[in-house]
Structure 1
Amino acid sequence: MGRIKCVLLTVIVAVLVFGCGKNPAKQGVEYLEDGEYKKAIEQFEEAIEKEKNVGDAYRGIGIAKWEMEDYEGACEAFKNALENDAKKTGTIYNFLGSCEMKLDHPEKALNFYNLALEDEDNSEEMEQEIRYNIIAAYEQTGDWESVKVKLEEYLEDYPDDEDAKKEAEFLETR
């Protein structure tokens, strides 16, 4: 009888500490990882309804919608994430910039990419990606002088980037 009480007490404590039922945000992440984006969105929306990890849930929706090529929806979700206390990271601003590029708004994209560069926690790979995206955004605006300047700076730091080298060669012919 003492053992049953101990097990029952452990279960009650676990429920009190970890909450009842499933965690929709956690389930959403699992669906994201499995590439089941519609199911992920449903779980993240449930987390938002339950007011659990709202900012992170919106970020998850943004990633799922990005993967589904719904750039307008992804952009809206990432903005909602920031408005709901998601951590302001270079990654989220890079996503926002890339959404704006897909939506043919390179000026808005540049603003987000510049915010992304301000994040001191960016990995070297993320920093490189953001800087390359800035070059692409300037190209889309038609600001060729800025493209040349940014590309030269980029190649000083990343001289082995073959795509950037080809881009520089192409710009020399313009």
Structure 2
Amino acid sequence: MDPIAQDFNNEQIDLASLPKYESVAFSSVSSKYLIKMNIQTGIFMLVLFIALGVFWFFQLDPLQSGLIFSIILIAFVFRFWNNYKLLQTLGYSIREKDIIYRRGFIFNKTTVIPFNRVQHASISRGVWDKVLGISSLNVFTAGGSGSDITIPGLEPEMALKLKEAIAVKISNDES
């Protein structure tokens, strides 16, 4: 028998002993992010109502106009409610060996990225982010074409602190 094969050991891990990310205390994002989401939703709603007005102007059947208007209104009421519920579920946490990002309330998604996979982090700010005084932190891993985690709605100072903390963690892991 091959001597290398004799040294091979692959013990099963006790799944109950693994750390549970659900027990982590998540930090929430700024409530200004809700304002940004609602502004974006409102602008989109305005464009759709203008389009509906154009249809109405060109003599669309009043019953069809009313139906389309009702569907758009229900969709946007749901969207504003969705924005509010989404803000309540957004959360992030930095642990000793990884960063965790949680989002979604209908479909929950939690991403855990170990620092030894992180390539770099960056901060981005769009027009509404600058107006509202918030930032987004983007965390990139090897092999990805975009950021693997984007944490929106952070106060700029907190985004900078998190970016620097991640930079320190990944530089310590490399040495």
TM-score (norm 1): 0.27
By percentage of residues, which structure has more strand? 2
TM-score (norm 2): 0.27
By percentage of residues, which structure has more helix? 1
Larger Rg: 2
